[in-house]
Amino acid sequence: MAYLDRVFHSLSDGTRRAVIAQLANGPASIGDLAQCHHMALPSFMKHVRVLEESELVMSRKVGRVRMCELRPDALTAAQGWLEQERRVWETRLNQLDSFVETLAEKEDKHGRE
Amino acid sequence: MAYLDRVFHSLSDGTRRAVIAQLANGPASIGDLAQCHHMALPSFMKHVRVLEESELVMSRKVGRVRMCELRPDALTAAQGWLEQERRVWETRLNQLDSFVETLAEKEDKHGRE
DNA sequence: ATCAAGGTAAGCCATATAGCTAACTAATAA
DNA sequence: TTATTAGTTAGCTATATGGCTTACCTTGAT
């Protein structure tokens, strides 16, 4: 699976988006996260693994608890893709606009002849 | 499934992202899209359906061919979510920064005492 | 040294996904 | 009117997902 596939797949789950939102406010342990989403620990581990594989989150063990935190550049790839596509789209719309405008001008001239 | 779930899920597939990129350059029929991705028509229909259910794409039938086009506001929801999360994250970092700075100042003062 | 707590591994289950083929429908071209 | 073309529906397969439980391992507290 490609990198962007993993990123967007990570984001496609409400629980994982909530985790990201939560981690944006500071690190948390797996236990904390699981408890506050009313989910069994192993279930939550999977989410954390997905988030790590998409490089949105990183974690390390301190004693027997694993702390998770958001990666600094977490969302830039996704944002980058969206922005680029939007730019292409808007550029095309502008071109269409001016094309239609040109047409209208010609129509106009034609009308006046 | 929630709206954002659907949107990000749509974007989590390379083929669908390619379709979006393609449609940003103008409308296309299902047949066109399928052919240019070397895929059977019915397989492609599923992708188009997913894209429509996530409100990224709309389509209508003209004669016997179905034309697909990007929705004007397609990517704004996804962009919005990303931007907001990023803002939260950066705000927190700034606060941390100034907190550390304050600490450093106090340390400094303390040192001079 | 022992026990509790937090995490991890393994494996079960129901559902969803991404692809396919084959059969059907509806619009167009000959 | 008959073929051809473009979509569509139905159904198959293999794999992935999101949840669970149960058993195990490590670390920290008593």
CA of B75 to C1' of D16 (A): 26
Confidence of residue B24 (pLDDT cuts 50, 70, 90): very high
DSSP A17-47: HHHHHHHTT--EEHHHHHHHTT--HHHHHHH
Amino acid whose CA is nearest the C1' of C18: B43
Fold of A3-70: Arc Repressor Mutant, subunit A (1.10.10)
Quick one: pLDDT at residue A111? 45
Q: State whether residue B13 sits within 8 Å of chain A by CB.
A: yes
Confidence of residue A104 (pLDDT cuts 50, 70, 90): low
Q: Which residues pair with A67 in a beta bridge?
A: A29, A60
Q: Give A19 or A109, the one with higher predicted confidence.
A: A19
Q: State whether residue B40 sits within 8 Å of chain A by CB.
A: no
Q: What is the pLDDT of residues A19-50, one digit of tens each?
A: 999 999 999 999 999 999 999 999 999 999 99
Of B2, B12, B21, the CB nearest to A5: B12
* Inter-chain CB proximity A12 and B17 less than 8 Å: no
CA distance A18 to A16: 5
CA distance B103 to B109: 10
Q: Over the Cα atoms of chain A, what is R_g?
A: 23
Decide if pLDDT at B104 tops 90: no
